[in-house]
Amino acid sequence: MDPLSAVLSLLKPRSYTSGGMDMGGDWAIQFGPHDGIKCYAVVSGECWLAVDGAPEPVHVSAGDCYLLPSGRRFRMASDLSLPPVDAQTIFRFPLNGAIATYNGGGACFGLGGHFALSGDSSMLLKVLPPIVHLAKDSDRAAMRWCLERMMQELRDPQPGGYLIAQQLTYMMLVQALRLHLAEQADGSVGWLFALADKQISAAMSCIHNEPARRWTLQQLAEEAGMSRSSFAVKFKETVGSSPMEYLTRWRMLLAADKLSNSSDPISTIALSLGYESESAFSTAFKREMGCSPRQYVRGRGETHLLEAKDGSRQARIPRSPRDTTPTKQVRWGPRDLGHPVHG
């Protein structure tokens, strides 16, 4: 499995709302903060898109696609100077394969969906800017095919159409990430952009396909077809972390997924990821995630993920009914598979 597929499989994107928006006349809509990632494409017409914290608004037109991975408030409008309408007054229910119409429609029509992510979603979201804008002149035959198929499903609903729309939206997301990778690889740092480098991507694939193997720097360098020293330097410059740091972080993200979604004992998980003892695994897990595996499991039971002022995350460990001690806060930073620098 290639690294992008491996990461998306770990995060398990779920399209919990997919459909279309048909805007008419002069309009402006304000959307609140959101979890996960939004992926939309403009089928006809044009509009402006402004995201809180983004350097400047983006003009999108027919054939353009955009991702909103930051979760920040954003505004869509024919004219950004217009007073906006709250999106909740228009989209009162999830679209779920339907088309929402405002002001009679006809001016701007878009398709797409909203994805929820499992696990440490910062692994993906942190390597993306607030707005990922893919212009229509990109090489996007696959994207056009997805849009055409979605239009057919929405205009002529058939049994199973909602499920098909979800899967088509997922394909749009993957294709959008591919296109962004192809357009932004030069000068950007992070695991996603490193996939454009054949040598580094080869080493990353080895780590993803065999996380339990006792990889050495020399072995990974040989897989990349490079000398040990050159590989170490290039990996750090491209990914943002050393090969061994990347390996450890990927193992711990896999471990967190297993702790959350399986009943495997910690000792079994440790062995499956290349650790000979539970204690060695627990030490590595705590170093990366900020809490022990057992604390992580307990915290997932009634987890409240809190955003600290420094951007780190906190897991509230639930107490027993008789426990009157202060609730313990276990913090883990949103460490990803390499620190992104958007160039």
Domain CATH number, residue 273:
1.10.10.60
Q: Going by C-beta distance under 8 Å and a sequence separation of 6 or more, which residues neighbour residue 216?
A: none
Separation of alpha carbons 42 and 107, rounded Å? 11
In the structure encoding, which two tokens stand for residue 185, read together?
Answer: 């690889």
Place of tokens 């002149």: 137
Answer whether 191's CB lies under 8 Å from 204's CB: yes
Query: What is residue 187's predicted lDDT score, i.e. its pLDDT?
Result: 61
Q: Please give the C-alpha separations between residue 144 and each of 67, 106, 137, 156, 214, in angstroms, as whole numbers.
A: 16, 20, 12, 18, 43
Classify residue 26 by burial, with Cβ atoms within 10 Å: 0-12, 13-18, 19+: exposed
Q: Going by C-beta distance under 8 Å and a sequence separation of 6 or more, which residues neighbour residue 39?
A: 65, 66, 67, 68, 112, 113, 114, 115, 169, 172, 173, 176
Name the more confident of 306 and 32. 32
Query: What is residue 109's predicted lDDT score, i.e. its pLDDT?
Result: 93
Q: Model confidence over 230-254: pLDDT tens digits?
A: 999 999 999 989 999 999 999 999 9
Q: Model confidence over 43-82: pLDDT tens digits?
A: 999 999 999 988 899 999 998 889 998 889 999 999 999 9
| Sheet (strand 313-316) strand order | 305-307, 313-316, 329-332
Same domain, yes or no, for 176 and 304?
no
Whether residue 192 is contained in a domain is answered as no
**Dmax of the chain from CA atoms?**
65
Answer whether 230's CB lies under 8 Å from 197's CB: no
Same domain, yes or no, for 161 and 208?
no
Whether residue 337 is contained in a domain is answered as no
pLDDT at 204 over 70: yes
Same domain, yes or no, for 321 and 282?
yes
Same domain, yes or no, for 87 and 213?
no
Number of Cβ atoms within 10 Å of the Cβ of 48: 18
pTM above 0.85, yes or no: no
Same domain, yes or no, for 153 and 291?
no
Whether residue 61 is contained in a domain is answered as yes
When mean pLDDT is compared across 68-72, 154-158, 171-175, 331-335, the lowest value belongs to 331-335
